[in-house]
Structure 1
Amino acid sequence: MSSTPLILSPQTKGVLAGIGACTIWGLSPIFYKLVDHVPAIEVLAHRTVWSLVFFGGVLALQGRLGQVRQAMDTRAKFVTLALASLMIATNWFLFIWAVGAGRTTESSLGYYILPLVAVVIGRVVFGEALKPSQWVAVALATGAVVLLTVGLQAPPWIALTLAISFGFYALIKKRLDVGPVVSVTAEVLLMLPIALIVLLQSEHTGGSAFHAGPLTMGVLLVSGPVTALPLILFSYAARRVRMTSLGLVQYLNPTLQFACAVFVFSEPFTGWHKIAFGLIWIALVIYAASMFAQDRASRRAAAAAAASGTGMI
C-alpha cells in the first residue's frame, strides 16, 4: 500500500519558514551566552566577518556577487546602505552586550515594543493614519515604559535603543530596492574595516578570541550561519505569507527571548516587570486585532472589486 506524499502549500511553507526564522532569533541568547566571556565588540566583529563569508558564499553560488557592487554604485545608495549598516551594527552590538550582561529580559522587551515603535515611525515619517485602537496600543506601551522607568529608577534604555535602532533600520531598508541577502551582504561589507581593526587590536593586546579555545572559536565561526539562516528563511516567508500572519509569527522571537531570560538564565523579574510586560502584551493583542480587522477589510474590498469587475464583463 503506497502512502500519499505530504504536499505543503506555499502559504504553509512560508509560515513554517517564518516560525523557523523567529525560533532561531528567539533562542539566539543561548547561543551568544556561550561567548559572554568575549568582549561584545569582538563578538560583533566575528559576527560581521563570518556573516560576510557566508553571505558572500551564497551569492557566489547563485552568481549574484555583482549585485552587491550594483547596490552601492551611486552615492545615494552608498549613503543609504551606510546608514542601514550603522543601525544594524548598533542593534547587533547592544543585543550581544545585553545577553552577556544578564539583561536579556530588556532585550526581549525591545523586540516586543518594536511593532509599536514602527507604527509611530510610520505616523511621524510617512504621515500614516492610526486607528483609535492603535493609538490605545501605543499609549499602553508608552505607559509600560514610564512605569518601568519609575519602578526601576532608570529608563529601559536597552529595550528602547533596540526597538528604535531596528525601527529606523526597517525604515531605511524601505528606501532600498535591493533583495535582503544582497543588502545585508553590502551592510556587513561596510562594517568589515572596523571589524578587522577590532580583531587586529584584540590580537595585538593578547586577548583575542582566536586563542580562547575550540569551543569559543567554533561558536564565533557559526555566528555567520546563525545570522544568515533566519534572514534567508524570513525572506522566503515574506514572499509567501500575508503581512498580518507574518507579523504575528514575529512575536515568537521576543517570547522565546523572554523565556530564555526568565527560565534559562534566571534573570530578575520584578513586580514592575510583570506590570510593564502585562501592559505590553495587552497592547500587542489590541494591535494584532486591529491588524486582523484591517486585513479582513482589505480582502473584502478586493473581493467586492473583483466581483464588480466580473459583473461588468
Structure 2
Amino acid sequence: MSAPAGHTPEEARGALAATLCYFLWGLVPLYWRQLAGVDPVELIAHRHLWSLALLLGVLAVQRRLSSVGAAFASRRSFAINALGAVLLTGNWLVYVWGVNTGHVIETSLGYFLVPLVNVAAGRFVLHEHLRRAQRLAIGLAALGVILMIVQLGRPPWIALALAGTWGGYSLLRKQSPLPAATGLAIETLMLAPLALAFLAWLQFRGVGAMGHADTRTHVLIMSSGVITAIPLLLFAYGARRIRLSTLGLLQYCAPSVQLVLGIWVFHEPFSRARIASFAFIWAALALYTADNLLQQRRFARA
C-alpha cells in the first residue's frame, strides 16, 4: 500500500510503519482465537507483563532505560501515560473478549468508527474546525450505528467501546512527547503490578493457565508480548510523524482484514440488516476519505 500524504521522508516512514501496524492488527484475531480457552482478563494480564519484558529489553539495547524514570518527573507526561494505560488496557480487554466470544465482525465495526471518533475528538478536544463533509460523515456513521441498534435490539457496545478507547488513546499518543518505546513501556509498567498480583492470585488458587495448560498454550501466551508490542511500536512511531487525518485513512486496513476473517474464516452471520448498517458507515468513511484527499491536494497546490 502506498503511503498517503508522505511529503517528506520522515512522513513516508511514519505512514509505512502505521500501514504495517494496521495490517498486522487485522490478522490478530487468528492469534487470540488460539487462546479462546483462557480467561480474557488473564490473557490481558499476561499481555502486560510479557510486553513490558520485551519493551524493557528494547530500551536496554538502545541504552535508554534511564528515560523511563525521567518520564515520571513530569506531571503532564505521567498523567498522559496513566490515562493512556487505562484506555489501552480497556481496549485490549474488550477486543480479546469480543474476538473469543464470536464477535469479530462487531470488533471490525469498532475500528471502522475510529477515524470518525478522531474527527470528533479533533473538534471537541483540539477545537479544530470541521468542514461540511466531515460533519455529514459523522452524521452518516451515527445513522449506521442507530440502524444497528434497531437490528440488534441493543447498542453495539463492543464496537462503541473499542472506538472510544482507541480514539482516546490515539489522541493521547499524538500529544505525548515521549518516544514510542519509552511511552509504551511506561504505560505497561504502570499497570504491571496489578497484572502481576492478579496472575499470582490465579496461580495461588491453582486456576491460572501457566503450569496447567499444554506447551502450545504456554508458547502462545508468552508470545503475547511480541504480538502486542511490535504493532504498537509501529503505531506510536507513525502517529508522531503523520497527521491524525492520515492516520485515520490508514486505519481502514485493520478492520477490513478483520471483517474478511469474521465472514469467511470464522463464518459469523452477516445479514442484510447488518450490511445496511455497515453501508452507512462505509459511506461516511468514503466521504471522509474523499474530503481529506481533496483537502490534502489543495494544500499540496498551495
Do both share a fold (TM > 0.5)? yes
Describe how 1:32-51 pairs up with structure 2 within 5 A.
Answer: 32-51=32-51
Look up the match of 2:294: 293
Q: What TM-score do the two structures reach when normalised by structure 1?
A: 0.88
Cα offset, 1:242, TM superposition? 6.7
Instruction: Spell out, residue by residue over 1:60-112, the C-alpha distance to the aligned partner (whole angstroms, 9 max, x if none).
Output: 00001111111111333322211111111100111011011111111110000
1:268 and 2:269 correspond = yes
Look up the match of 2:149: 149
Identity percentage of aligned residues: 39
Q: Which letter maps to 2:288?
A: Y
Cα offset, 1:118, TM superposition? 1.1
Q: Distance in 2 between matches of 1:151 and 1:27?
A: 28
Whether the 8 Å contact between 2:111 and 2:255 is mirrored in structure 1 is: yes
- Higher mean alpha-carbon deviation, 30-39 vs 248-257, is at 248-257
Q: Distance in 2 between matches of 1:172 and 1:15?
A: 18
RMSD over aligned CA atoms reads: 1.9
Distance verdict in 2 for CA 1:126–1:244, change over 3 Å? closer
Unpaired stretches in structure 1, ≥5 consecutive residues: 1-8, 302-313
Distance verdict in 2 for CA 1:10–1:187, change over 3 Å? closer
Q: Which letter maps to 2:105?
A: T
Q: How many residues in Structure 1 have an aligned counterpart in Structure 2?
A: 293
1:103 and 2:103 correspond = yes
Q: Distance in 2 between matches of 1:285 and 1:192?
A: 40
Distance verdict in 2 for CA 1:192–1:10, change over 3 Å? closer
Whether the 8 Å contact between 1:22 and 1:249 is mirrored in structure 2 is: yes
Look up the match of 2:137: 137
- Higher mean alpha-carbon deviation, 219-228 vs 263-272, is at 263-272
Q: Which letter maps to 1:279?
A: F
Describe how 1:1-313 pairs up with structure 2 within 5 A.
Answer: 16-210=16-210, 211-237=212-238, 246-301=247-302
Q: Distance in 2 between matches of 1:51 and 1:292?
A: 36
Q: Which letter maps to 2:169?
A: Y
Cα offset, 1:234, TM superposition? 3.5
Q: What TM-score do the two structures reach when normalised by structure 2?
A: 0.91
Whether the 8 Å contact between 1:26 and 1:253 is mirrored in structure 2 is: yes
Q: Which letter maps to 1:72?
A: F
Q: Which letter maps to 1:270?
A: S
Q: Distance in 2 between matches of 1:167 and 1:234?
A: 13
Whether the 8 Å contact between 2:114 and 2:248 is mirrored in structure 1 is: no
Cα offset, 1:10, TM superposition? 7.2
Distance verdict in 2 for CA 1:81–1:36, change over 3 Å? same
Cα offset, 1:191, TM superposition? 1.0
Q: Which letter maps to 2:215?
A: P
Q: Distance in 1 between matches of 2:241 and 2:135?
A: 29
Whether the 8 Å contact between 2:29 and 2:104 is mirrored in structure 1 is: yes
